[in-house]
Structure formats: structure tokens, C-alpha cells
Structure 1
Amino acid sequence: MQKTDFLVIGSGLAGLSFAVKMARHFPDQQITVITKDSVNESNTRYAQGGIAVVTDLLNDDFDKHKKDTLIAGDGLCDEYIVDLVVKEGPFRLQEIIDLGAEFDRSPDGSYHLGMEGAHSARRILHYKDVTGFKIQSTLLDEAHRLSNVHILEHHFAVDLITQHHLGEVVTKKSTDIKCFGAYSLDLKTHKIETYIAKTTILASGGIGQVYQLTTNPAVATGDGIAMAYRAKALLENMQFVQFHPTALYGNPGETAFLISEAVRGFGAILKTRNGKTFMEKYDERGSLASRDIVARAIDSEMKASGDPCVFLDCRHLDIEEFKEHFPNIYQKCLSLDIDVAKDMIPVAPAAHYVCGGVKTDEWGRTNIDNLYCCGEIACTGLHGANRLASNSLLEALIFAHRCYLDVIQKASTLSHMENIPEWQAAGTTQPREWVLINHNRTEVKNIMSDYVSIVRSNERLQRALNRLEIIHQETERLYKTTTLSPQLCELRNLINVAYLIVKQSIEQKENRGTFYNVDIGAER
């Protein structure tokens, strides 16, 4: 059994930001960060575009940013949350700059502000096309300097510890659920360790790997959302899965390479294989419409033509300037024999971001005492039915800070729960049929990609629900009789996440933002 003052699950922008602030405020208390891979492997690392913050007060203001966010969210954003996030943005941005984060500047020394889809002004601060990586590296450097931050790599969080593990009955209707920490699988020793904490922060990222094609890294299997669901946390808006319109088509590997929305903001235009533009048929903003509209438009064009992708045309742009702003994208295309000065870039939509998640209030609190959520795992009310481009890094910074503020207010009243039972593995054996785990994982991804993708229908959703129930039963039997492995844990989590997306899709009765069901009728 391991005791820590504050347990952080996840090492992306949200988790590290919270950990650093807590460590500075409480130098005599221990902050433990657990992550199932290396510490820098998270969705934050792959965020290319940047962070949306109002800094140019001559050409932009809070009301514009707020309006853009509300329009993108298609009427389902919490306006109070949008207002506080937009207005707190400059303060949180300055904090990360003070830590050493760099952003590109124009020749006159001002920040070079990018434009992205559905924004009415240039407000995207960025560092080349690796903004997330730069910010995360800054926070990691600071975390390593703080002696009371303990980062445990290759530790897989298995389950949150609640009264359920003390023998009490916990249901969705329970109003006094408490979190005491988490069980974690050490991937090097293969032992389940018990981490007891006064407060637990879930910041474990997204769910992209529930689909065949995703921009998310292999670690994004919805572990935190699944753990919270099993602990009876409230979850909302899981039906709103954002598909990024422009993932590089034909990129080998499990993760699709993202062609940042900032490339379209730079002037790139979406076209069909024969070089014809098409976005004007779907939205007056053309290639700079919001992600939900662009993704559905591309999906429609691909189905009409039978082509597996559309194309992003950059050939009319200043290529030297393109290489300066998007060096990573330029080199990636070159590695696949695509010269953006001469060739159009093949792109297709890929699962990118879940707009819902664990329901939180304005301080990152969940319905479970001493359990907070921030980052992509949380449903704060900011995104509504569709996230505005580059609001994700902003949200992570804002709510990590708000979690920190709330925790320090009550820190003196917090204590550890004693007598937490160790993980029980008696009666389990090593799995004899690994093919069962691998096959079920592939089947879940196929089900979600075929039936619960950009365009859905009642029949597809019901079929997905039926298939998932069978896989769930098979996997639970395996879970109860075999020793834990990361493969089995991830499969179980993917099934939970897939179920939530399907169930809440069935409950959704109107087309909004990223959600479109052909049986509901015309879009609003």
C-alpha cells in the first residue's frame, strides 16, 4: 500500500499543470503522478495547432471568442463556463509563459496569431506545429525540478477506490460516494499496487482508440472515463465525438497523422481528386467552417465519389513560409513522397476528441467526493456539441487551475482512508487465449467505425449496442478468471466507452454539432 497526499492519473497538460501548482503550494506534501506509458506520451503531445486565447485587443475581444465557442457548440454549451474560460485564458497563458513556454512571434515581436476554422479573429498562439509538445515539455521540466512530485511511468490505473471496495453497495443513485485513491498495475513488476490519496485527479485524456482511424496515440483508450463510469460518476455528452476533418490519408500505423486546422487557416483549400472545391456547397465559410460541418462534408463527398479521401491544396501558398510554420507537417508529407509545393495532401476524417466525459462543475468537482477531473476526460460544459478548434489546451489549463484552487481551500480538512483492502487476485490464472482479447478489441473498433461514426442511424446504433453486449459479457468472464494485463484492462475500458457513446447516442433526439443521425431528420 502506497500513501500519497494527492494522486494524479495522467501526465498531459491538465495533470502536470495541477501537479506543479500543488507541489509549489504544498512543498511538504507529496504529489504522485501515474501514467501508463512514458511520461510525455499523451494527447497533449500531439496537439499541433495551438491554444486559443484573446491577446490582440485591437482586433479581438472576449465576446468574439465566447460567441465563436457558443456557435461551434451548437447551442449546448454552458454559457457561464464559456464566459469564465475565455476571460481567465490570458492569466493561465501568462503562467505557462512565465514557466518558459515559447510561442512563435512576428518580426515586430508580437505573437504570431493563427486562424482556424470557426474563429472570427486570429487568436491561436502556437509554436510551429508542435505546440502541445512544447507546452508539455515546459511543464515536465518544472515537475522534474520539484522534489515532491513523484512521476511513476508504466503504471496502469485499473480502478478508482470507493466504498464499493469496503463492501458497501454503491449505485448510480448514491449521493455520498467517496474516492480514496486507485489501484494501479505496475507494468514492470506485474503487481497491482494500492495508492491511497486524500484527493484524486483524473486527467487521463481521450477515447480515440475506440475507433479504427484516430489522431490519438495508442494510449488513448478512455481508461479514466471507464474507471469513473464503474465508480458511478456522472457522465454526459458522450455521443458528441469530434472527428478531425483532415488526418493524413495513407499514413501507416495505429495513429493517423494530423494535418492541423491551422493549415486551412493559413489558406489551404479542400478539393476533390479532380481539383474541384466543394465546401462552398455546405457552408459559406468554405474550408474554414467548424469541424463538425467540414467532417460531414468530406464524408458526404467520399461516399458520393467512392474515393477513400479528399485533398488539401497548398500549392498556391508561400511554401517557404509554410515550411517555417509547419515544419513537422512538411517533413511528414515529404516522407510519404508528397511535396506540398506540387502535390495536394490526401486527407480523411479521423476520431479526434470527445466533447463529453465525466460531468464536473466549475471547479472540476465530480459527484464523487475527493475526485476531480480536468482535460479531455471532463465534461465541463465548455464544448457543448462540438469543440471549437484550439479550445482544448485552454480548457485543460483553466480547469487544472480551478481544481487546484478548490483543493487548497479544503486541504486542511482532508485525510487518508485507512483499512483499504489490497487488490484480490486469488483464483485467477494467466489467460490461455490471447487471441480472444485481440479479436474483441478489433471487433469493438470495427463496430464503432462502421455503426457509430460521423453519420449514424437508429438501426446501426441498435446493432452496435447488441454486439457490444455480447463482447462485454465475454470480456467480463475473462476479467473475473484471469490475472490482469494492460491488454485486458484496455479492452474492458474500450467496451465501457463504446457502450456510453452508443447508449447516449440512442438517447440523443436531435442533430447537434458532431452528432448526426439520418433517422432524426434534417439538420438544425
Structure 2
Amino acid sequence: MGASLNRVVPALPLPEAGWTRSTDVVVVGTGAAGLMTAVALADAGRAVTVVTKGDLGDGSTAWAQGGLAAVLGPDDDADLHVQDTLVAGAGLCDEGAVRTLVDEAPAAIARLRELGALLDLDAAGRPALTREGGHSRDRIVHAGGDASGAEVTRTLAAALRARGVEVLQRTVALDALRSADGRVVGLRVAGVQDGALVDAGDLLARAVVLATGGYGQVYAASSNPAGATGDGLALALRAGAEVADVEMVQFHPTVLWSGPNAEGQQALISEAVRGEGALLVDAAGRRIMLGAHPLADLAPRDVVSATIAAHLRATGDEHVFLDASHLGAGFVARRFPGISRACAAAGFDLGREPVPVAPAAHYSCGGVVADLDGRTTVPGLHAVGEVACTGIQGANRLASNSITEGLVAALRCAALLADELPPAVAPVAAVGPTGAIGPAARAAITAAATRHAGVARDADGLTELLGVLTALPRLAPDGVLDCAAVETTALHTVATLLASAALARTESRGCHRRLDHPATRPEWQVRLVHRLDRSGHVHTRTDAVRTLAAAQVVA
């Protein structure tokens, strides 16, 4: 593959800094991972400044319906949760990281409850547990029936406010500031006012924690909010960090179908609806998942999405149906009040009739290479939550492991930074080429990614996608960098990595399905890792997946 097809913006043309401030730690993002990191750091006595592109609590967490996975039931154990995660991850999970997550998940949820989270309880006053796809036991903790993420966000945002942590809202992180030896020592940030960048300045810090979420908005239709444009991943790459597994984008199989040309954030119908017994059927009422997987409608998400996509290709239909009518209208309304309202707003009664659904982009399994303590390959730069690639999600995330991972990683990262912070170091002026992709290119990026890098892919389409991305014009030298250009540049970076990795991986595994290479190949049980040089060329290598035995040998 020609290097010219793997070239992205190496640095943004930054506005001049009009001010400089110092803090111990800057946390970027206010989803579960970012909020818990900031709260825990404040409790440890660290000075923290939080930066969020939108308002406090904006992000994907607030939209999460299903819940948090943890071993809490009497018939469950850690080995089962680990095994379910490894099976869903299709050979790309870091088993050591998975075991750490499973072991520490109950304590993370207990900490959330200590902070005031109102979880749904059973008759005995214990967290009520339900099941989602890929889980062999009931182990999903939820709140408000189907409003788990909103309750997590409410709890942590309130805790942050109570601790008086400084929050810079409607402020975008542009690029990292680095010391002479390459350590990240802060961020150039700017306020966002009617889309324009204003009041730019330098936030100097002894550590930077990225908790910016995923990149679902690289597709035209996604369950993600509008801000999920991959800003943190692109910033980390430009700062010298490695990223991996970008081709592993999970498509949620049951997003409410809103038409053939749906764009933007789409209404999600939680996997927990199928966990309670809802079924996927075609227009004639025939079940889609029977025979496709031993768990049928509760198969892992990649299997369900791929099965639906294959059915749509074979029949020419635009969607299938989710049928929960046999569960009873009263039960559905009580258990899933938010989803019922969303369906009603679209003209459907979830408790009384099948509703149309189709897969849509949902979760970014790939991200900035990091361990569960948040450490990346660049000193001073940390990443937690969906922006990070810890090896837990592998090639396909097990349902409801995401907020759990965000909380566990946040607590571990905060504990690390409470004990270990390097002294403050002054940044040096950045050198090298800069650029940006103008906002007008965003529609072309998302249209091409949707067409060629969706649930099913092939070499011809991925090559065409790379051609589209390469041909997009850069912002003119006298052009003004605004928030839309920052986001479009990030989407271009993400799409380039996604397309090049998906083209290189000549197999089907987890979320990555190649029509021209349908088999899973053992030689591809490797991670594709990317880094950027100063001219913007992306360099890719393969890394072996760390098994628990390998991790013990290294230790």
C-alpha cells in the first residue's frame, strides 16, 4: 500500500496562547472514566482541571442504557466473566487485563454506590441483575430500568461539583504540549463560542489524562452523541502515542431504524431488551438468530450484527424487527421506560408490536494503547475509558463491560497519579508541518466510511475509501481553525487508520468482517499498532496478543 494513502495531519495550526495556567493533572472528557478519574484525584489531594468540549457530563456514558457488568450473583464467578469476555473478544483480548477488570469491577461499583448512585435493587436490597448478549450469567447492574449511564453521570458530576474541581466547559483540547525529552506537559486549549475558537491558552500539567470517548461519528449513523469524533485519539497520535485495533468498531445490532438515509445520533434499543426475552424476526415473523449461534438472540454483538447484515444483503430488506410484544406491554413500559418513549416518539409501541431495527456504529474497541493504569507509550500522557485500547475489549466488546472498564481504569489511573507525578517541566515550541481538514469534508468522510467500512467490508471498498480520504483538500494556509475543523481532522485521521488496518487484516474476526476473506485466520491473532511520524505518515506494525501466561513471564 502506498505511503501516500496513509498520511494524516501531523499537527494542528494552533492559535496563539493568550494565557498560561498550571495544575497537577488535566483530565479531558466528562464521561464515566473522566469524571471518576477527576473525583478520585481530588480525593487524593491533587489539583485537577477538567476540560470538556461540551457541557459537564456530555459524552456517551449519559446515553448508556444497559448497565455495568460485574460478578455479584451467587451463581456467578470471576472465571465465567473472564471467559465470556475472551470469547466475545475473538482472540484479541489481553487476558491479564481482563482478569484485573473482572476482579476489581465489584469494588468499582461499590465505590459508585458510595458516591450516591441509585442502582435498581432486588427484593433483598441487592443490585438487581440482568443478562445481555454473550454473558453466561445474570451480571448486569442497571439504574432507572434503562437509564444506567444517566445515573452514573449524575452521580459522578455531582461528586465533582461537591469537591470544587475546576471544569472548563465548552473548551476543546487542540494539541499536546511537550518537553524537550518528549514528555507531555500540558495542552493548548481554546474555548468554543458559536463554533469559533476563542481565548486560547496553555494548561500546563504534570500529567494529562484523556477520557474523550470513541469515534462513532466517523459513520453517518451512530448511537454515539455528536461529540464522539475521535478527538482524543487523534491528539494522542499527534503527540507520539501508539494506537491499535482501530478497525474493530462494534456495531450495535438493534438501533431503531429511522429510514434509509439516517444520519447523526440514532435511538438505541438496549441489548437488555433481548436479555428479557425479545426476539429478532424478519417481516414474516421468522426468527433471524436461530441456528446462527448457540445463544441465538443473545449471541455476542458482532455475531448478531453480522447475521442481520447478511440477511439484509440476501433479502434486499432495509431492516429487521425486534419483537418484545410477548413480554407484555406493562412489563416493557416499566422495565424500559426510556426506550419505550423513544420508540413512541418514532411512532412505534415496543410493548405491543415489532419495531424496525438495524445495526449502527456503537463502540470503538480500538484506541490509544494503554494499560489499565492509563499509561500510554508517551510519558505524561494517560488514557482511560473508550479512548484507550487496553486489550480488554479485543476484537469485540462484551456487553456492559465498557462503563465498568472506565471506572476501574479511572480508579487505577488516579491511584497511580496520586503516588507518582513527575515535577513540572516547561514545554518547548513545536516544530514541523501543520494542517487541518476543512469542515466541508466531513460529509464525504462519513459517507465513504459508512459505505465501505461498515459491518461488512472488502478490499475494493476499503481501497476506494482510502482514495477518497487522500484526495480531500487541506484547510488553506490562511484558513481559520475552528471547532468543526478540529473534529473533521480527527475524523479524517480515524478513518485513515480504520481503512488501512481493515484493508491489511485479510480475515474476519470479531467486529471486522471481510466479505472477501470470511474465515478467521490464526496468523492474524495479532494487534495492528500505528504511530505517526513528523510528516504525517502512518507506520503500522503487528504486535502479539498478550496471554496471561505471557504476562506472567514478562513480569
TM-score (norm 1): 0.91
Look up the equivalent residue of 1:218 and give its one-letter code: A
In the aligned structure 2, how far is the partner of 1:339 from the partner of 1:88? 39
SS of the residue corresponding to residue 155 of structure 2 reads: helix
1:303 maps onto 2:313 in alignment: yes
Look up the equivalent residue of 2:509 and give its one-letter code: R
Note the C-alpha offset of 1:423.
12
CA contact (8 A) 2:328 2:352 kept: no
Look up the equivalent residue of 2:34 and give its one-letter code: G
SS of the residue corresponding to residue 408 of structure 2 reads: helix
SS of the residue corresponding to residue 316 of structure 1 reads: helix
**Number of matched pairs:** 496
Q: Are the structure 2 counterparts of residues 508 and 16 from structure 1 closer, same or farther at C-alpha, using a change threshold of 3 Å?
A: same
Structure 2 partner of 1:506: 503
Structure 1 partner of 2:491: 494
Note the C-alpha offset of 1:185.
1.6
Look up the equivalent residue of 2:185 and give its one-letter code: F
Note the C-alpha offset of 1:522.
2.8
CA contact (8 A) 1:194 1:423 kept: no
CA contact (8 A) 2:372 2:384 kept: no
Look up the equivalent residue of 1:132 and give its one-letter code: G
Look up the equivalent residue of 2:253 and give its one-letter code: P
CA contact (8 A) 1:243 1:352 kept: yes
Note the C-alpha offset of 1:498.
0.5
In the aligned structure 2, how far is the partner of 1:150 from the partner of 1:389? 33
Aligned counterpart for 2:136 among listed residues 115, 120, 126: 120
CA contact (8 A) 1:193 1:423 kept: no
In the aligned structure 2, how far is the partner of 1:442 from the partner of 1:25? 44
In the aligned structure 2, how far is the partner of 1:54 from the partner of 1:268? 24
SS of the residue corresponding to residue 420 of structure 2 reads: helix
Note the C-alpha offset of 1:303.
1.5
The Cα offsets for residues 404-442 of structure 1, whole Å up to 9 and x where unpaired, read as 12112213xx22222655999x9x9xx9xxxx9443100
Q: How does 1:167-206 map to 2 (within 5 A)?
A: 177-188=182-193, 190-206=198-214
Question: RMSD value over aligned CA atoms?
Answer: 2.1
Structure 1 partner of 2:257: 249
Note the C-alpha offset of 1:508.
1.6
Structure 1 partner of 2:151: 134
Note the C-alpha offset of 1:159.
0.9
1:464 maps onto 2:454 in alignment: no
In the aligned structure 2, how far is the partner of 1:301 from the partner of 1:324? 32
1:453 maps onto 2:454 in alignment: yes
Note the C-alpha offset of 1:292.
0.2
Structure 2 partner of 1:515: 512
SS of the residue corresponding to residue 11 of structure 1 reads: coil
Look up the equivalent residue of 2:245 and give its one-letter code: N
Look up the equivalent residue of 2:283 and give its one-letter code: R
Look up the equivalent residue of 1:454 and give its one-letter code: V
The Cα offsets for residues 148-171 of structure 1, whole Å up to 9 and x where unpaired, read as x101110011111124xx6xxxxx
Structure 2 partner of 1:172: none
In the aligned structure 2, how far is the partner of 1:42 from the partner of 1:351? 15
Look up the equivalent residue of 1:14 and give its one-letter code: A
In the aligned structure 2, how far is the partner of 1:253 from the partner of 1:138? 31
Look up the equivalent residue of 2:355 and give its one-letter code: I
In the aligned structure 2, how far is the partner of 1:64 from the partner of 1:230? 39
In the aligned structure 2, how far is the partner of 1:111 from the partner of 1:35? 31
Note the C-alpha offset of 1:257.
0.6
Gaps of 5+ in 2: 1-19, 522-555
In the aligned structure 2, how far is the partner of 1:483 from the partner of 1:191? 14
Look up the equivalent residue of 1:458 and give its one-letter code: A
In the aligned structure 2, how far is the partner of 1:485 from the partner of 1:362? 33
CA contact (8 A) 2:332 2:351 kept: no
Note the C-alpha offset of 1:505.
1.3
The Cα offsets for residues 276-309 of structure 1, whole Å up to 9 and x where unpaired, read as 1121132121111000000011111112221211
Note the C-alpha offset of 1:333.
1.1
Note the C-alpha offset of 1:215.
0.1
CA contact (8 A) 2:458 2:503 kept: no
Structure 1 partner of 2:531: none
CA contact (8 A) 1:156 1:187 kept: yes
Which one has the bigger strand percentage?
2
SS of the residue corresponding to residue 471 of structure 2 reads: helix
CA contact (8 A) 2:178 2:427 kept: no
1:111 maps onto 2:119 in alignment: no
Gaps of 5+ in 1: 167-175
1:439 maps onto 2:440 in alignment: yes
SS of the residue corresponding to residue 184 of structure 1 reads: strand
Aligned counterpart for 1:3 among listed residues 6, 19, 22: 22
Look up the equivalent residue of 1:203 and give its one-letter code: A
CA contact (8 A) 1:192 1:423 kept: no
Note the C-alpha offset of 1:110.
2.7
Share of identical aligned residues, percent? 36
Q: How does 1:265-276 map to 2 (within 5 A)?
A: 265-276=275-286
Note the C-alpha offset of 1:460.
1.1
